[in-house]
Amino acid sequence: MRDFVETRIIEAVRGLLAGRVNEMLQGLEYSVPGIEFGGYGVSPEIELISCESTEKERIVRQDAYSLIITISLPDIEESELYCYVYSGAISRAICDDPTLGGVVTRAVITGKKYLEPKVKHCGEGWGVVISLRVTVETTSKG
């Protein structure tokens, strides 16, 4: 079965979050829940939302993907701080490895949005939404 580039991108982002980001979280002087997929830690959603190319990217044979990483947290005292910690750790990890282990040509953060509950202690939680733009070289057919 063929390995699709979209699947490789999502798996590379998962690996970055569960690997390098967790390493940074463990090195902090205070305790922050680790990122786990299918476990008991914080489980981010990774959503590939589009693939498009500018004229320049088509000429140099690159596809540009837009991804969103969403981290939702319960409404507890430390949640706002955790949003900033996760955001900073993810930014640092992508800055340190913009090719996501060689899977993509380049990944950059294009936006961050911090979500707070409309009414504190009312059941809604905190969150951070990180937007990424990922470029990948395309191969020619033939």
pLDDT at 52: 78
Read off the pLDDT of residues 52-111 as tens digits, 9 standing for 90 and up: 766 766 666 788 899 999 999 998 889 999 999 999 999 999 999 999 999 999 999 999
pTM of the model: 0.87
Let me know if residue 139 belongs to a domain: no
Q: Which range, 1-10, 33-42, 113-122, 125-134, is most confident?
A: 125-134
pLDDT at 41: 76
Task: Specify the number of domains making up the chain.
Answer: 1
pLDDT at 123: 66
Q: What is the mean pLDDT of residues 112-140?
A: 86
Read off the pLDDT of residues 5-58 as tens digits, 9 standing for 90 and up: 899 999 999 999 999 999 999 988 889 999 998 877 789 999 999 887 667 666
Let me know if residue 137 belongs to a domain: no
pLDDT at 67: 96
More confident residue, 105 or 123: 105
- The answer to whether 25 and 44 have CB atoms below 8 angstroms apart is no
Let me know if residue 37 belongs to a domain: yes
Let me know if residue 52 belongs to a domain: yes
Q: What is the largest CA-CA distance in the chain?
A: 59
Let me know if residue 134 belongs to a domain: no
Distance of CA 31 to the CA centre of its chain: 21
38: containing domain: 5-124
pLDDT at 40: 75
CA distance 17 to 31: 17
* Sheet with 106-115, side-by-side order of all strands: 45-52, 62-73, 126-137, 106-115
Let me know if residue 50 belongs to a domain: yes
pLDDT at 1: 38
Q: What is the DSSP string of 11-33?
A: HHHHHHIIIIIHHHHHTSSS--P
CA distance 70 to 59: 32
pLDDT at 3: 66
Let me know if residue 79 belongs to a domain: yes
Let me know if residue 19 belongs to a domain: yes
